[in-house]
Amino acid sequence: AQTVTQSQPEMSVQEAETVTLSCTYDTSENNYYLFWYKQPPSRQMILVIRQEAYKQQNATENRFSVNFQKAAKSFSLKISDSQLGDTAMYFCAFMKGTSGSRLTFGEGTQLTVNP
Amino acid sequence: NAGVTQTPKFQVLKTGQSMTLQCAQDMNHEYMSWYRQDPGMGLRLIHYSVGAGITDQGEVPNGYNVSRSTTEDFPLRLLSAAPSQTSVYFCASSRRAGYGYTFGSGTRLTVV
Chain B residue numbers touching A91 (CB-CB < 8 A): 42-43
Measured over the CA atoms of residue B35, residue B57, residue B41 and residue A19, the dihedral's sign is negative
Cis peptide preceding A40, ω within 30 of 0: no
Computed from CA positions of residues A67, A69, A70, A75, in that sequence, does the dihedral angle turn out positive or negative? negative
Tell me which of B33, B101, B102, B109 to substitute to probe the interface with A (most A C-beta atoms closer than 10 Å): B101
Predicted pLDDT at A60? 95
Give the pLDDT of chain B (112 residues) as one tens digit per residue.
679 999 999 999 999 999 999 999 999 999 999 999 998 788 999 999 999 999 999 999 999 999 999 999 999 999 999 999 999 999 999 998 888 899 999 999 999 9
Q: What residues have CB less than 8 Å from B109, skipping those under 6 apart?
A: B10, B11, B12, B13, B21, B78, B85, B86, B87, B88, B89
Type of residue found at A35 = F
Among A92, A95, A101, A107, most B C-beta atoms within 10 A, so best to mutate, is A101
